[in-house]
Copies of this chain bind each other. A is one copy, B any other.
Amino acid sequence: MSYRAPIADIAFSLRHVAGLDALAADGLFPDASADTVDAILEEAGRFATDKLAPLRRVGDTAGVTFADGKVTTAPGWREAYEAWTEGGWNALAAPAELGGQGLPLLLNAACAEMWNGASLAFGLAPLLTMGAVEALTTHASETLRKTYLDKLVKGTWTGTMNLTEPQAGSDLGALRARAERREDGSYRITGTKIFITYGEHDLTDNIVHLVLARLPDAPAGTRGISLFLVPKLLVNEDGSLGERNDVACAGVERKLGIHGSPTCTMTYGDKGGATGWLIGEEHKGLACMFTMMNNARLQVGLQGVAAAEGAYQQALSYARERRQGKAPGWTGEGMSPIVEHPDVRRMLLEMRAKTVAARGLCYQVAEALDRARTGADEAARQAAQHRAALLTPVAKAFATDIANEVASLGVQVHGGAGFIEETGAAQWMRDARITAIYEGTNGIQAIDLAMRKLSLEDGAVVRRTIGELRQSLATIARTNHLSAAVLRPLASAVDALESTTEWMLHAASSRPADALASATPYLRLFAVAAGGVALAREAEAAARAQAEGAEDAAHTLRVDTARFFAGQIAAGATGLAASVMEGADALGAGFGAAA
């Protein structure tokens, strides 16, 4: 079966976990009324399901074609992209003064989940374009903004991020691409960049490359990096397209997944130098990148949610159709649908529980980013910004880790058929794999959390967040809608998170090797506690609705999902806490000479 945008589940998470209604009620997004939100979700869902989902398979099998420096996307992709931009989807969350619709990033996040659920490879193009919009909006000169922003907001042109070089991946300080000042105020850019997503393609007539490079007098390391805008085609004063810039695609990679999106090697300056313009200040390019990092990482987290959701849908559909054996208590004709077998139900519930928890975490980041943009006063915006900063690595790493786990379970549910490419289950797994790597590997996310985010406001941000988790559980407990089987493991998980947080805070300042060693299990513990509470909030709302007479099997499943997560996943929190507090001792002497 093909992906269907899970509108009801998305809306439920937006309202009961991420507090979408409060954004409107607080007057931050007066245009985002409940009716508007529902109508947009409905329309986006239809577009994703009907127009984009069919791209997934053809993108995988046809991939992209590279010849004579040109990249051709799979059949139907250009038309779909045009229809998508014409629908105004690229501009959803952009400010009205830029031609956008000024709607919440939270709503955009929900839509992004749908585009990516339909096709991760497709969803990547707008992901990078929106990043470019953000960078230009915040840091670019008036001239650059006037020339490029309108086209990028509409999606008429796409954007790229050119960071990685062969010797500079996670460590951007090692990059070597060069920029030289020209007398006319532009810069001459030379160098080679690798792994450039949508670096070249035929979806649009122009491509706006954001390129990190060094000036001749740049300090070494990350403090000597500047950010440049380098268009594929130069733009004339009247806005028409001019001559070709000196930037070329030298090849595309053969990848494990997301075959529909070109991953390019880009060469700048083969014919003397590409023309670029500075964004922000010289040597401050990394700071420009960082301002857009939270949202870009959130977007990749949403790709994880999307892939997990898609894998879950396909596995559930298969499990309902495929019949084998007789499940306990099966009284129907012949063999049971395998969805009735306890071990298959376990896999499906695990897939669903992890997916919905990750969705809740990602949406909470989006909500915080909205409040950081539009909060009533500076203090509110700052608090929201810090909350977003804290939760971003948790959401990105957890959502993309579980995407891999869930997609692998999806293959498993299919049995032997899952290993056959035609079935399509394996594609979710192949496509999802990169999400744990790009936009900062999940190891980098854990280090970011441990070494930079925990210490925000001397630990007050994380302590506040843990207090909110505890408060949520207390509020839920008072309603008596959920059983101790849900609430007790979650309370223990929050306890475990609290004690390890204090341990990590102390370690980060006094024994960094310990904090670095424990960063990954600590992030997982954080996500398990916060994700479990998010599920409990959904479950409480569902149980409440049922108590008030709503008959909806989806509500029962929401309660079951939270129960499963609490008893089967959050139950591991105390073990994780013990692991965290081993610190560097857990890692022994290293791999010195031994094999």
Contact = CB atoms under 8 A, between A and B. Distances in A.
A99 interface: no
Given A419-B257, A485-B582, A412 B437 contact: yes
B420 A253 contact: yes
A579 B586 contact: no
Nearest to A326: B171
Nearest to A327: B516
Contacts of A320: 591
Contact of A415 (B169, B257, B557, B571): B169
A49 interface: no
B416 A594 contact: no
A23 B376 CA distance: 77
Nearest to A320: B591
A62 to B, nearest CB: 14
Interface string A516-558: 1101110000000000000000000000000000001110110
Contact of A437 (B168, B319, B415, B429): B415
Interface in A1-58: 6, 8-9
Contact of A255 (B419, B436, B517): B419
A536 to B, nearest CB: 15
Contact of A574 (B485, B512, B574): B574
B335 A171 contact: yes
Contacts of A436: 412
A588 B349 contact: yes
Contacts of A433: 408, 411, 419, 426, 429
A-B pairs, top 10 by smallest CB distance, nearest first, are: A560-B588, A553-B594, A572-B575, A343-B443, A557-B594, A171-B324, A342-B516, A171-B325, A256-B426, A342-B517
Interface residues of A, number: 105
Contacts of A422: 253-254
Nearest to A168: B324
Interface in A302-319: 313, 316, 319
A586 B564 contact: yes
Per DSSP, chain A at the interface is helix
Contacts of A429: 256, 433
Nearest to A582: B567
B426 A517 contact: no
A357 B334 CA distance: 41
Interface of A: 6, 8-9, 164, 167-171, 173-174, 194-195, 253-257, 313, 316, 319-320, 323-325, 328-329, 335, 339-349, 404, 408, 411-412, 415-416, 418-422, 426, 429-430, 433-434, 436-438, 441-443, 446-447, 485, 489, 512-513, 516-517, 519-521, 552-554, 556-557, 559-561, 563-564, 567-568, 571-576, 578-579, 582, 584-595
12 contacts: A255-B420, A256-B411, A256-B419, A319-B591, A412-B436, A416-B434, A426-B433, A489-B578, A553-B594, A556-B594, A560-B587, A572-B572
A168 B325 CA distance: 9
Contacts of A426: 256, 433
A170 B437 contact: no
Contact of A579 (B316, B567, B589): B567
Given A348-B591, A557-B591, 15 more contacts: A8-B595, A169-B324, A254-B420, A346-B517, A349-B588, A412-B436, A416-B437, A416-B438, A553-B594, A560-B587, A563-B588, A564-B587, A567-B578, A567-B585, A572-B575
A194 B423 CA distance: 15
Contacts of A554: 594-595
A345 B164 CA distance: 23
B560 A589 contact: yes
Among A194, A343, A571, A589: residue with most chain B CB under 10 A = A343
Contacts of A553: 592-594
A360 to B, nearest CB: 18
B335 A447 contact: no
